[in-house]
Structure 1
Amino acid sequence: MTTVAAYAAPAAKAPLERTTIERRAVGESDVLIDIKFAGICHSDIHQAREGWGTAMFPMVPGHEIAGVVSEVGSAVTGFKVGDRVGVGCMVDSCRTCDNCLAGLQQYCTGGGPVWTYNAVGKDGERTYGGYAEKIVVDAGYVVRIPDGLALDVAAPLLCAGITTYSPLKHWNAGPGKKVAVVGLGGLGHMGVKIAHALGAEVTVLSQSLRKKDDGLRLGADDYRATSDPTTFEELKGTFDIILNTVSAPLDFAAYLSLLRTDGAMVNVGIPEEPVRILLSSFFGHRRSVSSSGIGGIPETQEMLDFCAEHGLGAEIELISADRINEAYDRVVSSDVRYRFVIDTATI
């Protein structure tokens, strides 16, 4: 066991505070990672404030982890000391179900994936996330960060990057396809970058035009305000894919009207409250509403390699650990462009 410094929420909705946690000893299949940077995902806030239901406390959030290997177990062959690596939203799964064998560990049917924090591992111990100095993870759930990506801008890719890359690939975003990205935040800004790099024509749908210059700079071909009712009239039947990145209820009927025949609206943001969908919104054009959850380990590595090839890092604001609570409030207020990243050397 190793004692490391970390930032934890001691109770629901309580400010995060500096503390210490225990990391397990490095087993034969494990990798010990010196965490260099940890992104702040809105999911961290939903869980630390129990917006998604009852959680476990104290909680050390953080599932956008970038760091350097400092020790490897005796059976590990894929990593060595000094390697630049990342850890995303999960640190284990059953490994034997059809989904795990297909590299879709995020959809594990053998008890579900073991999340990086706010979960219980197979050993019966609580998992604690990346707002910490170090983490021990089974090597099978660690990915390599290519040299072409700086660690600070790579950290958010372990959630925001794969959460948008996976559905864009699955629904075949590329040349000849029109993609709308709803929301230009931590997820949305990566959705724009990735959809553009895949060759799709990209439109941002945002409440206002406040971030229009940013959206166009990041790769959008068009930027429309959803507060303007003419947007929904002018764009009716336009898109093959709508990637909804916001975690708030929407007028689904209005957004579904923007899809072409056989178009799909894919939701990657998770509202804390129920949403209402009229079935009549689907009829006539074989439209669909779906969802997507992160990506498996092979696809996460594919995403990192793709981002390195195309020079796609997250747009970040680097902060010290003592500003985490301030950052949480600013994320809720949409006051970040576009991802807070903690310099873990300040923990």
Structure 2
Amino acid sequence: MEKSHENEHPIKAFGWAARDTSGVFSPLNFSRRETGEKDVQFKVMYCGICHTDLHQIKNEWGINKYPIIPGHEIVGVVTEVGNKADKFKIGDKIGVGYLVGSCNECENCSNDLENYCPGQVLTANGTHSDGTITHGGYSDLMVVNEHFIVGWPDNLPMEAAPLLCAGVTTYSPLRYYGLDKPGMHIGVVGLGGLGHMVVKFAKAFVTKVTVISTSINKKDEAIERLGADSFLVSLDPEQMQHSAGGSLDGIIYTVSAVHPIFPLLNLLKTNRKLVMVVTPENH
């Protein structure tokens, strides 16, 4: 007899699940595995809402395994540790991002690049090695291998859980592509969940920041609240023409909707970088 979500594992859990493409959530009683020797069990305290969660609950990528409990920007408090887990102790604040497992054998895993592992296990809507489906942070507790957990600083509010996806998604390209040097001029396309993170990181790196948006409505937020230096309306041909000629050292593109790329290239200095950090609906 096929096991149900409620009894396929021994630890009882509760979450909010989408059961079809409507994306409507409803309560779900399910189960988590026992805390293995290298596992950490923790109480979920906060979980961010990422656009990936919205793609998933509506099955816009065509890979869903309903019911789905999303959530991969997770902060919690450790309640149990396995007998061979030594990175965390009960009571520690911890965070979990987009991955909870990998093959641990390939070249990517050996170089701390598990996000490129063909056997990666997603935090939600993934498949464990035992064939069961992973459930994310819209739940009361989780059990995760300690390798895929990070310590959470005591002086950082736990409400900052979106740093575990939106944060690293924007911080990483700024650092990896060398767009973190004081005095550089960085363009940020879009001012949503990812875009506002780019602005804050880029300003922390002491760069000049220009926000590029389709709407003037976000200008005050960009400049007054987030500290951007200038604002450019991409649908205004006169503004774009005036800015063309290459003043930007790099552009971080965060818009998941259809948006023309070529006009943005005219804003870059020669041989500079435009980095896209979004996954569109039909990727």
Corresponding residue for 1:136? 143
- Separation (CA, whole Å) in 2 of partners of 1:63 and 1:269: 16
Quick one: distance in 1 between partners of 2:77 and 2:248?
A: 41
Structure 2 counterpart of 1:167: 173
Q: Distance in 2 between matches of 1:119 and 1:166?
A: 24
3-state DSSP class of the match of 2:135? coil
- Counterpart of 1:314? none
Alignment deviations for residues 112-131 of structure 1 (CA, whole Å, 9 cap, x no partner): 42110111012221100000
Contact 2:182 2:206 in 1 (8 A): yes
Q: Does 2:199 correspond to 1:192?
A: yes
Runs of 5+ unmatched residues, structure 2: 1-9
Alpha-carbon distance in 2 for matches of 1:185, 1:75: 41
Q: Is the 8 A contact 1:3 1:23 kept in 2?
A: yes
Of 215, 222, 233, which residue of structure 2 is paired with 1:225? 233
CA displacement at 1:21 relative to structure 2 = 1.4
Contact 1:106 1:112 in 2 (8 A): no
TM-fit CA distance, 1:137: 0.3
In 2, Cα distance between the equivalents of 1:252 and 1:96?
A: 38
SS at match of 1:194: helix
For residue 14 of structure 1, report the CA deviation from its aligned partner: 3.9
Structure-2 residue corresponding to 1:81:
90
Q: Distance in 1 between matches of 2:190 and 2:120?
A: 28
- Residues of 2 paired with 1:59 and 1:172: CA distance? 37
Per the TM alignment, residue 227 of structure 1 is displaced from its structure 2 partner at its CA by 2.1
Question: Which residue identity is paired with 1:31?
Answer: V
Contact 2:211 2:222 in 1 (8 A): yes
Query: In the alignment, which residue of structure 2 is the partner of 1:70?
Result: 79
Instruction: For residues 218-256 of structure 1, give each alpha carbon's deviation from its aligned partner in whole angstroms, at most 9, with x where no partner exists.
Output: 131111111211232122212121111111122111111
Q: Residue 263 of structure 1: SS of its match in structure 2? A: strand
User: Pick from 66, 86, 93: which aligns with 2:102?
Assistant: 93
Give the gaps of 5 or more residues in structure 1: 275-347
Contact 2:233 2:240 in 1 (8 A): no
Residue 103 of structure 1: CA displacement?
1.5
Distance 1:4 1:273, change over 3 A: closer
CA apart distance, 1:273: 4.0
* AA aligned opposite 2:240: F
Q: Which runs of 4+ in 1 moved over 4 A?
A: none
Match of 1:268 among 263, 277, 281: 277
Q: SS at the partner of 1:211?
A: helix
RMSD: 1.3
SS of 1:122's equivalent in the other structure is coil
Identical columns (%) = 45
Residue 108 of structure 2 aligns to which amino acid in structure 1?
Answer: N
Q: Is 1:25 paired with 2:31?
A: no
**Partner residue, 2:7:** none
State whether residues 99 and 107 of structure 1, in contact with CA within 8 Å, keep that contact through their aligned partners in structure 2: yes
Q: Is the 8 A contact 1:9 1:57 kept in 2?
A: yes
Report the TM-score when normalising by structure 2: 0.92
Contact 1:181–1:204 (CA<8 Å) still a contact in 2?
A: yes
1:207 aligns with 2:214: yes
Rate the CA distance shift 1:234–1:155 in 2: closer, same or farther, 3 A.
same
Query: Structure 1: how far apart are the matches of 2:49 and 2:158?
Result: 14
Q: Within 5 Å, which residues of 2 pair with 1:1-20?
A: 1-20=10-29
Q: How many residues align?
A: 271
In structure 2, how many angstroms separate the alpha carbons of the residues matched to 1:257 and 1:113? 38
* In structure 1, distance between residues paired with 2:135 and 2:164: 16
Looking at structure 2, the residues matched to 270 and 186 of structure 1 have their Cα atoms a distance apart, in angstroms, of 13
Residues in 1 aligned to 2:234 and 2:56: alpha-carbon distance in whole angstroms: 28
Deviations 1:184-209 (A, max 9, x none): 11111111101111122111111112
Q: Which structure shows the bigger proportion of residues in helix conformation?
A: 1
Displacement, 1:105? 1.4
- In structure 2, the partner of 1:146 is 153
Contact 1:6–1:133 (CA<8 Å) still a contact in 2?
yes
Q: Deviations over 1:278-307 (max 9, x none)?
A: xxxxxxxxxxxxxxxxxxxxxxxxxxxxxx
